[in-house]
Amino acid sequence: MSGRRKRDLIIKGFSKLLKEDKLRIVAELMDNQVETIELLKSFWYADTEKQKIFDEFSENTITNFYIPYGVAPNVMVNGHTYLVPMVIEESSVVAAASSAARFWSERGGFRAKVIDTVKIGQVHFLWEGEKEKLERVFDELKQQMRENARSITANMEKRGGGILDFELIDMRDKLENYYQIKVSFETKDSMGANFINSCLEESAKTLKEFVRTHPAFHGKERELTIIMAILSNYTPDCLVRVWVECPFKDLEGIDPSLTGEQFARKFATAVKIAEIDTFRATTHNKGIFNGIDAVAIATGNDFRAIEAAGHTYASRTGRYQSLSHVEIKNGKFKYWIELPLAVGTVGGLTALHPLAKHSLEMLGKPSAKELMMITAAMGMANNFAAVRSLVTKGIQHGHMKMHLMNILNHFKATDDEKKKATAYFSDKKVSFASVGEFIKNLRHPTK
């Protein structure tokens, strides 16, 4: 049977198969089945108990996919210096973050504050009743929803968190008979997704029963359709701000052709372009999330939720724009970033993943608020390093130097060849073609 034909087969009951059988089915799609199995098994942990933990993180697992785990030293936030773990495969990100962190550590470091930590969930429902009637009994409904969720919220309340408030949102101008109950939460050091969703589902049941049985409602008013109850990853009230500032003289020497003030103004213009141009803003903010995502992954947090919230926040004015900003005033350069950043330091993968647990210990077992500030600082560090390169020597200068090792690995360069290539390209432009030509000449020198 051809490879194309094998790929067209519908596999029933795949999730119920043993791991070895799943592996065999995957291998059958490949030309070299034995080599495929050997490759996938080579990434299993020898410790079967540890491997079992990883197998149970997700479904239909057949192996592990490794991503480099690096650290950025000299990250000073509010006077505390951290060695920050970063999990990312993109070359130059850790180097850029480390360079920027060192630069600002010599100028007072990053300053940061958490503006708020409120998270949001929604109960979406359709109802044909009169809004005013529901508004009149809404305080009673809120109390009932709190009471019915008490078994879920009790432990969170002991830690100072829980349900903060309920709000009735009329969305009938967008969709016929559509309402929401917007619920705000405080989840303390937990990211809180499961907690929030459990509370919302209980609140949805309470809402439906309340409307069905309350004497204020009659006839069709007693019929309410729950569409869904789910948290929102947009957390505009779970905000962190990080900033740096220094006089122009502290920016001298970044580029020999620019004074400190000239660099500051050129940098500010580059950031302004990201504020007004969506195409530039997208790449600009991607650089911010290079740093943020790397820390989120290293600490077992949901980088996809973090990115979704950040990009939505960047669009809150109706136009996508930069998450970082610059102010030039009274001979000083001030640069800051503000964004929603919901992270946790307890629960979920933070305790189950051995390296996530290690990462948090490396950071001194921070609270969720402290981790918010550290993570945002790494996003800012990457952004500063990227814009600094763009307005001076260009982004490719540093990026391609870091990418050199990837190219050399593609050509299966030996350690000696890597050493010679690194020396040769120390003052030359790096490209795939030029490195390939260099390796070719090393291996087959012309007479």
Question: Considering 124, 142, 188, 399, which one is annotated as catalytic?
Answer: 399
Question: Considering 286, 358, 369, 420, which one is annotated as catalytic?
Answer: 286
The pairing of strands 239-247 and 162-170 is unpaired
250 is catalytic: no
CA–CA dist 164, 156 (Å, integer): 12
249 is catalytic: no
DSSP assignment of 310-344 equals: HHHHHTTTSS---SEEEEEETTEEEEEEEEE----
286 is catalytic: yes
Contact 149, 202 (CB under 8 A): yes
Question: Considering 302, 307, 353, 403, which one is annotated as catalytic?
Answer: 302
DSSP secondary structure code for residue 414 in this structure = -
> What six digits make up the tokens of 416?
């000696």
214 is catalytic: no
DSSP secondary structure code for residue 33 in this structure = H
Contact 267, 140 (CB under 8 A): no
Contact 112, 377 (CB under 8 A): yes
CA–CA dist 339, 284 (Å, integer): 14
Q: Rounded to the nearest 5 degrees, what angle is found at the Cα of 33, between the Cα atoms of 27 and 38? A: 90
Question: Considering 28, 80, 90, 182, which one is annotated as catalytic?
Answer: 90
- Distances, alpha carbon 393 to alpha carbons 61, 383, 396, 430, in Å: 44, 16, 8, 14
Q: Rounded to the nearest 5 degrees, what angle is found at the Cα of 211, between the Cα atoms of 207 and 212? A: 115
The residues that are catalytic are 90, 286, 302, 399
